[in-house]
Amino acid sequence: MSRELLQNVRVLDPVSGSDRIADTLITEGQIEAIAEKIAEFPADTQVRDCQGLILGPGLTDIYSHSGEPGFEDRETLESLMQAAAAGGFTRVAILPDTSPPVDNLAGLALLQQHIRNLPPGLPSLYFWGALTAGVKGQQMAELGELASCPVVGFADGLPLSNPALVRRLLEYIKPLGKSVALWPCDRTLAGNGAVREGAVSVRLGLPGIPASAETSALAAILELVASAGTGVHIMRVSTARSVELIRDAKARGLPVTASVTWMHLLLNVGAISGNSKDAGGKNALTASLPYDPNLRLEPPLGNLSDQLALIQAVKDGVIDAIAIDHNPHTYEEKTVAFADSPPGAMGLELALPLLWHGLVETGEFSALELWRVLSTRPAVCLGQTPATVAPGVSAELILFDPQMSWTVDGPSLKSRSANTPWLGQQLAGKVVQTWIN
């Protein structure tokens, strides 16, 4: 029988609000006991001194992209799941923009077949069903059929430009009892922009995307939610004004939740210049090349005021969760001019250590606050029961060493792609063990 005793470990449990030093006994994948001191245990127990380490529930990612099927040179399902496990994620929800997309039962069955062929011990993988056929934003997908299958909800992961279609979607989905995730973005206002509009974009000489490209679309979505009464998750919040709109919507009792991607909390548009002065002292990169294509994101990194508003909104609960939005690309795809590069960056392996050192060690967040928005609240947004650290429950846990040093390079990464601005840098913080239910 497999038994492990973790002694003197810092146990975080956002569900109960507990943060304490304790011994934890895990037997055959079950948490058997948590106590200040466990003095009696079977002789065959593997004992480990975990002083300085953190034991918490596995993390949940609300949405990320998979290369497989269709773009296996970017990422396979196996490499994505290995990267997730390495980063502490035990649950990952995948957006439907694969090739073929998950807009019908056949597309979903193909992905499920791929999963059955993977080795055991990997994180749980969930799928969003497409809102529209071919994720093209023109007509509804087979929502009724998909709703009868194990999809976590419906999302294209792309903006929907037709408000009439959004209204019909919300009205149709309401009785199906599934989540809906929408990304507010007006492509006509965004135009050919590559960065957030403002003083820094002018200095960079890059076309700017106004904040109104997000906020005008968000305001329209919130009006449709108020009319239809269908719960909606707002993806990729990136502006201070969006925070105000969501705060007001929640105060009015609208059924909305929201998430921000992890890089928008750590960085702002100033990071693109490679100049810490432009970042206003909020640059989590120890070194950055100017115009690094790995900083080309959708939505773009906000201005400093946006970054500060997003951090506060997560603390206040206006924004419910942090999403990773892992978006792998090959070296060749990203080795182009900044404005020509495809938007997106990998992140499953990097988010926890960088958020820990960028937000917890700086005093912005408590350890429990960070774990809550990476584990408990994302699971709730997906309509799932969150993992917890308590006796008698299955062990869905990670053991995190916040001081363990490692270098972000090809051999250290489980992901098939390495499109990150932290490539080549030395980080502190590593998940050293994962228990997957």
DSSP state of 365: S
Judge whether 45 and 5 are in contact, CB under 8 Å.
Answer: yes
Q: What is the CA radius of gyration of the chain?
A: 21
| Helix axes 212-228 and 163-173, enclosed angle (nearest 10) | 40
Tokens of 357: 């050192």
| Residue positions annotated with a catalytic role | 325
Packing angle of the helix pair 105-116, 77-86 (nearest 10 deg): 60
Going by C-beta distance under 8 Å and a sequence separation of 6 or more, which residues neighbour residue 412? 406
Q: Where are the beta strands (DSSP E) in 216-330?
A: 232-234, 256-261, 321-323
Nearest-5° Cα angle at 410, 404 to 413: 50
Task: Output the CA–CA distances (angstroms, integers) from residue 112 to 119, 146, 176, 190, 379, in the order listed.
Answer: 13, 13, 22, 36, 21
Q: Give the residue among 147, 150, 185 at the shortest CA–CA distance from 166.
A: 185
Q: Which is it for the CA torsion 387, 389, 393, 399, positive or negative?
A: positive
**Of 10, 43, 3, nearest to 371 (Cα)?**
10
- Distance of alpha carbon 341 from alpha carbon 329, whole angstroms: 10
- The CA distance from 22 to 37, in Å, is 7
The answer to whether the beta carbons of residues 326 and 419 sit under 8 Å apart is no
Q: Is 340 exposed, middle or buried (0-12, 13-18, 19+ CB in 10 A)?
A: exposed
Structure tokens at 22: 């304790």
